[in-house]
Amino acid sequence: MGSSVESVTGQDVRGTLPEGLADAIRDTAEDIAALLRGVADTGAPVPGSEWTMGEAAAHLAQANELMADIAAGRDRNHGDGTPQSLAAANERALAEFGERGADPLGAMIVAHADAYLKAMDEGAADRTVATPLGPMSRVELGSYLLTHMLGHGYDLARAVGRPHMIDAARVELTLPFMITAVPRVTNTAATAGLTARYRVRMRGGTGFGVTLTDGAVAVSSESPSHPDCTILTEPVTFLLMALGRCNPWGAIARGRVLAWGRKPWLAPRFPTLFTAP
């Protein structure tokens, strides 16, 4: 079953990050550090996760270091791109890393995010690098870094009962990664035999198109012609659904997702076609 990416970012990424991405990476890392600052008991559970706060924060510190190393051109292996292998690699890495203190981990999360930005300043943004989810440009890797921090930052915010840091502007900056990753996280059992054209848009922002042809997935920054189903979603809800933090039926019931077209009933099925990395 094949997949392809017709267009990744829809813009020239040579030598620079998309406007706002560097600030979003830096600010999100600092927001997470602020959530962790002074937390005495990092053994408290993270809602909806098997991890404690200390484990989630340690994972973020390790992941930020991994992505900074990749951006700097260092070879790093971390699973084979499947959800199972990534989960196993995460558990192995956590077992080998003993730090669970909130303040030290917050400082590491910020330091490694800064290291990624430094690597970007020192090299070509469009250079292809090997990531846990396959080859990407370093801009797409930066979008991946931001997406990953927002997902776990949301979890940590819920754990301490404070507001999360996801907003529409940051969600927009996750799209280069989303467009690249969608074909790579396809749930082949769910897409088998499916032919459909989706147009996905954020309220007040941009979007992308997903075309399935007998289960094969193609993604574009442009909408497919004559889409079967157009999905318009509130941006924060879009990201939370994409990362498996939000039930699509609940989002539809609350009016945060609207769908229309020749086959609007395809909308609730869309999130099930992919497995959150």
pLDDT at position 100 is: 96
Place of tokens 């797409």: 140
pLDDT tens digit string along 171-219?
999 999 999 998 888 999 999 999 999 999 999 888 899 999 999 999 9
CA distance linking residue 66 with residue 78, whole number of Å: 9
Picking from 138, 13, 14, the residue whose alpha carbon sits closest to that of residue 70 is 138
pTM, full prediction: 0.90
Looking at domain 181-273, which of 3.40.50.300, 3.30.1050.10, 3.30.465.10, 3.40.50.1970 is its CATH number? 3.30.1050.10
DSSP 277: -
pLDDT at 144 over 90: yes
pLDDT at 19 over 70: yes
| Contact (CB, 8 A) for 233 and 202 | yes
Contact (Cβ atoms closer than 8 angstroms) between residue 13 and residue 165: no
Res. 75 pLDDT band, cuts 50 70 90? confident
Selected residue with higher pLDDT from 198 and 222:
198
Structural domain boundaries in the chain = 12-176, 181-273
Reported confidence tier of residue 5, pLDDT bands at 50, 70, 90: very low
CATH number of 12-176: 1.20.120.450
Write out pLDDT tens, residues 229-243.
999 999 999 999 999
- SS3 at position 188: helix
Q: What are phi and psi of 218, to 5 degrees?
A: -130, 135
